[in-house]
Every structure is written in C-alpha cells, then in structure tokens.
C-alpha cells in the first residue's frame, strides 16, 4: 500500500511503478482496489497502465472485477484495464462469457490488438481464424451493445473476415445474414459482395427510389452547390461528373456523411433530384471556402451561372466549423465570404455585403440572445439560413413538404480519374 500511495507523488511515482510491476500478479488486487476507489488521490489512469504492464498475469483478477461491476464507473475503469492486456486467445474465450460487459470488452480488446485500420500493424501474430469465427455469431448478440461493438470490430480486422461472412450469406444461419451483408460492405466494400448480393442491393435501391421522399441532409460538415434547375444531366456536364449511380435520399446522404468525415474525400458527390425547383450537389468537393477547392468552386459557379443564370455554393460546420458562401450570376462572381473557423487564414472577401446578409445579422442582433453580437459573431452560423433568404434550398430544410422531381445520383468528380475511384462501404438505403 505504501508503494501505491507513492504513485500519487510525482517524485516517487516512477520508482513505485517499477516496484509494483516487478511484484507481478501479487500487486494486481491492491492496484484494482485503488483504481476503483473514486476518492483515491492516485490517478486511476496510471494504475491502469501498470496493470497493462503486468500483462496476462492480471487477466483473471481484472475479469472478475469486470464481470461483477456494480455501477457504470466501476465497469468503465475495469473495462479499460481489461482491454489493454493484449491477450487475444483469452479474449476469444471471453466472447462466450455470460456477462455482456465482458463480451463487449473482449471484442474491444481484440480490436485493440488486431485492428489493421489506417495501415496499423497489429500486435497479435496468432491465427485470426478462431478469433473471427468466435466474433461472427455475436453480430446478433442479445445485448445491443455487444452486437454493435462486434459489427464495428469485424471490419477492422482486414480481409480475414471476408470468407467467413460470405459463408454466412451463403449458408446461414438466417439470423446473421442481414448483419453479415452490412459488415461485408463495411469490410470490403461493394467488391466484397457476391454478384447475387450486389444485384439484390441494386434492385432494392430501384424499388425504394420509386416513391422516395425528401429528408433533411444535415451533417456535422456540409458543403453544397445549389443550381436553380432540374437539369441534372446538364449540371453534371458542366461539373465534369461521371459514373452516375442511382441513389435514394438516405443513400446519398449516407455517402456524403462518410465522405465529409475526418478525412474529407473529394472524389465523388451526391446530386439530388430537383427539390423545390433546385438541384443540390453535395460533398467536400463543393466547399467554396476550402483553400484547396475554393478556386475551382468559383470557376464551377461561373460556368453554371452562364447556363442557368445563377449558382451558389455553401459550407456549414454544425459543431463550430463556421460558414462560407459564394455566388455567381450570369457568368460573374458576385460574392464570396469566408466565415469558417478551421483554417489558419480565411480567404479574401469578394464583393460587398449582400442585403440578405445584413438582414440576417439585424434579426440576430434584435433577439435577446444576440443583442451584443457583431457581424463576426453571427456570420459563422449563417449559411443554412442565408441559402433560404437568397431564395435557394438548404439541405438542412428538406423534408416531406419538399417538392421532388426525378431521382438523385452519386457521381464521380474529375479527381477520381487522377486519384482512383473511392472505395465503397456500408451505407443506409
């Protein structure tokens, strides 16, 4: 206990940690007691690392605590200690444990040791066959948390999961077939699916597209072009799009969310049907205030406005990313304003402030919440409302009331020819 108390002293922490690690399994029970004591002055994170350093010898004690955890905080700390032990064979055994907390943590431990995502080299060098075979049935585990965790983990394990999942698609059991299709798509994309499954997915999309209804296309980071026309073919021609594939609103939205995530992908876009007289083109490729895309987006707006009289582009980061917009009319840039918050420098302003911008600012300032806000405070939140004020359509405002004509598509941008076609995944239909 004196060594454990020394963990709270920065001057003695290192020596105490080395001594406790040297004690091996004998140190685990007191370390666990201290780690689970919320009143302890010792940072539980440091204790967790010592348990990881002791390694497999700590497994049984940590498992016992996790399996009987009486509350969420105990469960969280015990799971964190359990997941980092790196004992894949023991985790595989634990996937059949009666405790859902143990099963979910065991799957997380396998993820930690075996994931090959983002080019990662796994620490486990054993046979992955039994690991995958033990995980696959849990895609339909009675506990939703376990099932979801397993569906996340399997695609992270690489190509080793493909054939077992294909076997489920061919042979069953039936309760796993739907989950196997989604995990296959997440693990290997459309290319991993059997021809029969690809045909079934295409047929489902065609059926759902017949009476597809508009839905909000809201996202954490959303970029879009807006053109006052339903001429999808002409818009695609101006933008140099190719490889169109029919999609529903849900599928187009799912692709946009995927491509707009932490690593924006500009190789494809979602082109909506005509919505209230406008066509929206969505994806990071459309961002008018991204330093790498801004010039080409302006060129696209100019060309679109020559053909259709008007074209607009917007960016909105819902969780503090700010806003940006650009407009062109009859072949000339009218306005660009960068109120994004993620870049080192904002792009130069083009054109003068629009009356609609000033009106939105005034409305904000007149409200109690925005009484003291200057233009710089308001502009980062403007893009969706400004689109509506300018007579356009905001993807955030689409819904059952929206008039829809035609069908939407996902299409490739010119960057796909230069950088390769983007991989597919598991998307909503």
Cα distance between residue 363 and residue 289, in whole Å: 25
**pLDDT of amino acid 342:** 76
Residue ranges of E strands in 153-231: 221-227
**pLDDT of amino acid 369:** 59
Residue 33, both tokens: 């007691």
Instruction: Assess contact for 414 and 175: CB atoms under 8 A.
Output: no
**pLDDT of amino acid 304:** 98
Confidence of residue 276 (pLDDT cuts 50, 70, 90): very high
User: Cα–chain-centroid distance for residue 119?
Assistant: 18
Q: Could you count the other beta carbons within 10 Å of the beta carbon of residue 221?
A: 20
Q: What percent of the chain has pLDDT over 90?
A: 75
SS3 label, residue 347: coil
**pLDDT of amino acid 134:** 97
Q: Average of pLDDT values for 168-181?
A: 93
Question: Sign of the CA dihedral 20, 22, 24, 26?
Answer: negative
Cα distance between residue 175 and residue 194, in whole Å: 19
Instruction: Assess contact for 7 and 37: CB atoms under 8 A.
Output: no
Instruction: With a cut of 70, say whether residue 167 has pLDDT above it.
Output: yes
User: Cα–chain-centroid distance for residue 423?
Assistant: 15
Confidence of residue 319 (pLDDT cuts 50, 70, 90): confident
**Each residue of 107-135: pLDDT tens digit?**
999 999 999 988 889 999 999 999 999 99
Angle at 404 between CA 403 and CA 410, to 5 degrees: 145
Can you give 236-305 as a three-state secondary structure string?
HHHHCCEEEEEECHHHHHHHHHHHCCCCCCCCEEEECCEECCEEEEECHHHCCCCCCCHHHHHHHHHHHH
Instruction: Assess contact for 63 and 79: CB atoms under 8 A.
Output: no
**Each residue of 219-239: pLDDT tens digit?**
989 999 999 999 999 999 999
Residue ranges of E strands in 124-227: 221-227
Half-sphere exposure of 65 (CA within 13 A, CB side): 25
Cα distance between residue 289 and residue 284, in whole Å: 10
Higher-pLDDT residue of 38 and 6 is: 38
Cα distance between residue 67 and residue 55, in whole Å: 18
Instruction: With a cut of 80, say whether residue 263 has pLDDT above it.
Output: yes
Residue 101 main-chain phi, psi, to 5 deg = -65, -40
Q: Which residues contact 418 (CB under 8 A, 6 or more apart)?
A: none
Q: Average of pLDDT values for 297-304?
A: 97
Instruction: Assess contact for 216 and 398: CB atoms under 8 A.
Output: yes
Tell me the pTM: 0.81
**pLDDT of amino acid 29:** 92
Instruction: With a cut of 80, say whether residue 365 has pLDDT above it.
Output: no
Continuous H helices in 285-391: 294-308, 355-366, 375-378, 383-389
**pLDDT of amino acid 111:** 96
Instruction: With a cut of 90, say whether residue 269 has pLDDT above it.
Output: yes
Q: Average of pLDDT values for 202-207?
A: 94
Instruction: Assess contact for 409 and 246: CB atoms under 8 A.
Output: yes
SS3 label, residue 17: helix
Cα distance between residue 74 and residue 234, in whole Å: 60
Residue 229 main-chain phi, psi, to 5 deg = -165, 155
Pick from 149, 69, 145: nearest CA to 109: 149
């Amino acid at each position: 206990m004196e060594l454990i108390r020394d963990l709270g002293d920065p001057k003695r922490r290192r020596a105490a940690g080395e001594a406790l690690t040297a004690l091996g399994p004998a140190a685990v029970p007191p370390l666990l007691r201290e780690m689970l004591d919320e009143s302890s002055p010792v940072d539980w994170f440091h204790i967790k690392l010592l348990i990881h350093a002791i390694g497999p010898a700590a497994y049984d004690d940590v498992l016992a605590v996790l399996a009987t955890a009486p509350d969420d905080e105990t469960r969280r700390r015990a799971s964190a200690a359990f997941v980092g032990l790196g004992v894949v064979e023991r985790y595989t055994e634990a996937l059949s444990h009666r405790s859902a907390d143990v099963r979910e943590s065991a799957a997380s431990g396998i993820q930690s040791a075996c994931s090959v995502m983002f080019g990662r080299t796994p620490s486990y060098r054993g046979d992955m066959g039994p690991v995958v075979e033990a995980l696959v049935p849990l895609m339909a585990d009675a506990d939703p948390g376990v099932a979801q965790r397993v569906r996340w983990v399997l695609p992270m394990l690489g190509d080793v999961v493909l054939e077992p999942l294909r076997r489920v698609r061919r042979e069953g059991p039936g309760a796993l077939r739907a989950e196997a299709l989604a995990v296959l798509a997440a693990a290997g994309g459309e290319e991993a699916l059997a021809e029969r499954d690809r045909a079934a997915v295409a047929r489902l999309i065609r059926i759902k597209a017949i009476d597809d209804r508009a839905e909000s296309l809201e996202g954490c980071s959303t970029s879009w072009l807006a053109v006052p026309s339903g001429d999808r073919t002409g818009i695609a021609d101006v933008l140099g799009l190719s490889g169109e594939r029919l999609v529903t609103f849900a599928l187009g939205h799912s692709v946009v969310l995927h491509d707009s995530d932490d690593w924006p992908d500009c190789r494809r876009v979602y082109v909506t049907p005509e919505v209230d007289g406008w066509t929206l083109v969505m994806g990071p490729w459309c961002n008018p205030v991204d330093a790498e895309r801004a010039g080409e987006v302006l060129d696209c707006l100019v060309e679109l406005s020559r053909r259709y009289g008007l074209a607009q582009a917007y960016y909105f980061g819902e969780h503090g990313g700010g806003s940006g917009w650009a407009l062109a009319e009859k072949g000339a840039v009218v306005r660009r304003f960068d109120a994004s918050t993620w870049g080192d420098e904002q792009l130069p302003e083009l054109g003068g402030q629009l009356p609609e911008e000033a009106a939105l600012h005034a409305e904000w300032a007149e409200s109690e919440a925005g009484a003291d806000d200057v233009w710089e405070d308001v502009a980062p939140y403007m893009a969706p409302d400004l689109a509506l004020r300018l007579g356009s359509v905001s993807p955030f405002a689409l819904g059952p009331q929206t008039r829809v004509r035609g069908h939407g598509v996902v299409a490739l941008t010119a960057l796909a020819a230069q950088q390769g076609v983007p991989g597919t995944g598991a998307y909503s239909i």
